[in-house]
């Protein structure tokens, strides 16, 4: 009998398996798709030689993850590559605000009236970032805080809505860039704890950047799987699990799945019936015959580029998708251009690029024209660079990754108490109604992102159970 079986080979499932195997437990992972990776995969979606990441491509939380930093993943082929700028936010007049590794450069891009306010916001936390990240990403407390005072100070700043935090800034560049940071988790700007979301992304950039994985996000997942095998664990792909009886006997079962899928497989009925899913996204992967022709020079050297003319436009786009049930006319876009940092992603002189905008949960329309109209506002002539495109709305995203219910790549609404307390309001988020069954997906704290910390935290709950039995 195995000690633990993990269902789902996304970053959280693989991290949970690694953490258990490192402690001497026998572990097997079962994945429905033909490759490991979940939201961290790489495929030729458009043309031969163009390597796209179907979901996550830039990894500010990955390079800063306490879980990944504790593992020897570089030995197994993982290398982080950095663009000159982690992120840029261009404006229609050809200027841009930037999120740089340098606090000073970032502050200067906001203009003299907001430079000091930005410094005062981030500089108290940056020297203590590693400890803060570990404490914040272990909430609810799976370990005692190493620096409870700094964590409490961060809570005072981060728990209010981002609309309040943005009042510290007098001009639009800082407000707009920060609004875009919050929008990465598809949360309405006025929601509880949204200030923390934006602040975490900013601090992550200053600490270690927003890199891509060399060769594609698949290399991160492959490194986790290779390390697991060296620890004695096994990985089984093309293995769909429809009920617990499909799995071999084990002392514990750990699910890197959505709560609704877990309830169906384990027979938990309506245990997660109140779990809320959020807006979906419409994503386009592009093969380009040259770099994106951004008007703002800063965007040309950034790994990630946010697209929204101002904070009001970003807020309106989020409201349309999350509350009004319609696709926005001017969608806020998150775009990533991996080949700026990693030329191996495309043939010589060519580029890969992706963009996504928020749409209502389960939306079935086509956002291609709206996305490309937005891109043309900030990169005139963009359409002329397109060699091929691969589009994916909520239905297609859910078909590729069952955890993206209704196209929700955050695996659950990041709003209200569900920002911190997910998938249920409980002090034991990784436990389920069955004492031998656990959940470790992005539906658990600390939530969405390729960081493995949900799997890391869940593994602690599992090995405590295994040591007791």
pLDDT, tens digit, for every residue of 329-369? 999 999 999 999 999 999 999 999 999 999 999 999 999 99
Q: What are phi and psi of 358, to 5 degrees?
A: -85, 140
d(CA 191, CA 202): 18
Distance of alpha carbon 80 from alpha carbon 163, whole angstroms: 33
Q: Which pLDDT belongs to residue 185? A: 87
Residue ranges per domain, the chain? 2-41+214-275+413-468
Cβ–Cβ under 8 Å, residues 85 and 346: no
Let me know how many helices (H) and strands (E) the chain has, helices first. 16, 14
pLDDT of residue 417: 84
Whether pTM > 0.75 for this model: the answer is yes
d(CA 211, CA 453): 18
Tokens describing residue 34: 């033909």
DSSP 141: T
- Minimal CA–CA distance to 143: which of 152, 151, 134? 134
Coil/strand/helix, residue 112:
helix
Residue-level pLDDT at 366 = 98
Residue 22 is predicted with a pLDDT of: 97
The CATH fold of domain 2-41+214-275+413-468: FAD/NAD(P)-binding domain (3.50.50)
Q: Which of 236, 340, 229 is nearest to 291 (CA)?
A: 340
Burial 294-309 (b: 16+ CB within 10 A, else e): bbbebbbbbbbbbbbb
CA distance 74 to 21: 18
Beta-strand runs (E) in 289-373? 302-307, 333-336, 351-359
> What's the gap between Cα 420 and its chain centre?
15
Check: CB of residue 81 under 8 Å from CB of residue 74: no
Is residue 254 within 8 Å of 4, Cβ to Cβ? yes
Q: Which residues of the chain have pLDDT under 70?
A: none
Cis peptide before 80 (omega within 30 of 0): no
Q: What is the pLDDT of residue 371?
A: 98
User: Phi, psi at residue 349, to the nearest 5°?
Assistant: 85, -10
User: Quick one: 422 exposed, middle or buried, by C-beta within 10 A (0-12, 13-18, 19+)?
Assistant: buried
* Predicted local distance difference test score (pLDDT) of residue 47: 98
User: Which neighbouring-strand residues pair with 307?
Assistant: 333
C-alpha to C-alpha distances, 279 to 36, 160, 191, 209, nearest whole angstrom:
25, 22, 15, 27
Q: How many angstroms separate the CA atoms of 282 and 394, rounded? A: 6
pLDDT digits (tens, 9 = 90+) for 46-58: 999 999 999 999 9
Structure tokens at 409: 């790549």
Question: CB atoms < 10 A from the CB of 170, how many?
Answer: 13
Find the distance separating the first CA and the last CA of the chain, reported in whole Å: 14
Residues in the chain, overall count: 469
Closest CA to 58 of 35, 40, 44: 40
Cis omega before residue 292 (within 30°)?
A: no
What ranges in 255-410 are assigned the alpha helix state H? 259-266, 311-322, 368-378, 394-400
65: closest CA among 452, 447, 441? 452
Q: Is 209 left (phi over 0), alpha (psi -120 to 50) or beta?
A: left
* Predicted local distance difference test score (pLDDT) of residue 466: 92
Distance separating alpha carbons of residues 140 and 153, to the nearest angstrom: 17
Task: Give the chain's largest Cα–Cα span.
Answer: 64
Burial letters 349-372, b for 16+ CB under 10 A, else e? ebbbbbbbbbbbbbbeeebeebbb
């Amino acid at each position: 009998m195995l000690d633990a079986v993990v269902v789902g080979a996304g970053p959280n499932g693989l991290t949970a398996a690694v953490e258990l195997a490192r402690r001497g437990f026998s572990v097997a992972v079962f994945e429905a798709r033909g490759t490991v990776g979940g939201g961290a995969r790489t495929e030729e979606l458009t043309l031969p030689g163009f390597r796209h990441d179907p979901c996550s491509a830039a990894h500010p939380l990955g390079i800063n993850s306490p879980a990944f930093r504790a593992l020897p993943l570089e030995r197994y082929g993982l290398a982080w590559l950095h663009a000159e700028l982690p992120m840029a936010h261009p404006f229609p007049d050809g200027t841009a605000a930037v999120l740089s590794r340098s606090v000073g450069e970032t502050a200067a891009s906001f203009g003299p009236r907001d430079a000091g306010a930005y410094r005062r916001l981030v500089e108290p936390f940056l020297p203590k970032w590693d400890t803060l990240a570990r404490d914040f990403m272990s909430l609810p407390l799976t370990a005692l805080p190493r620096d409870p005072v700094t964590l409490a100070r961060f809570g005072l700043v981060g728990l209010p809505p981002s609309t309040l935090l943005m009042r510290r800034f007098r001009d639009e560049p800082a407000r707009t860039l920060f609004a875009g940071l919050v929008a990465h988790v598809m949360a309405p700007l006025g929601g509880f704890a949204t200030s923390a979301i934006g602040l975490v992304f900013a601090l992550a950039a200053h600490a270690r950047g927003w890199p891509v994985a060399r060769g594609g996000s698949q290399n991160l997942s492959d490194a986790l799987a290779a390390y697991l095998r060296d620890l004695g664990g096994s990985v089984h792909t093309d293995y769909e699990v429809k009920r617990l009886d499909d799995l071999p006997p084990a002392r514990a079962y750990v699910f890197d799945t959505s709560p609704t899928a877990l309830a169906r497989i384990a027979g938990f009925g309506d245990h997660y019936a109140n779990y809320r899913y959020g807006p979906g996204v419409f994503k386009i992967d592009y093969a380009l015959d040259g770099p994106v022709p951004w008007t703002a020079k800063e965007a040309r050297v950034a790994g990630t580029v946010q697209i929204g003319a101002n904070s009001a436009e970003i807020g309106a786009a989020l409201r349309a998708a999350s509350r009004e049930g319609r696709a926005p006319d001017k969608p806020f876009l998150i775009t990533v251009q991996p080949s700026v940092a990693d030329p191996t992603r495309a043939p010589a002189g060519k580029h890969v690029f992706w963009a996504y905008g928020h749409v209502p949960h389960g939306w079935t329309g086509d956002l291609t024209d709206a996305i490309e109209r937005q891109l043309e506002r900030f990169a005139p002539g963009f359409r002329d660079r397109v060699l091929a495109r691969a589009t994916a709305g909520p239905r297609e995203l859910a078909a590729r990754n069952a955890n993206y219910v209704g196209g929700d790549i955050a695996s659950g609404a990041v709003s209200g108490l569900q920002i911190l307390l997910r998938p249920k309001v409980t002090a034991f988020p990784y436990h389920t109604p069955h004492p031998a069954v656990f959940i470790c997906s992005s539906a658990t704290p600390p939530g969405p992102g390729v960081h493995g910390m949900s799997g890391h935290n869940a593994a602690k709950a599992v090995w405590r159970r295994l040591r007791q039995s």
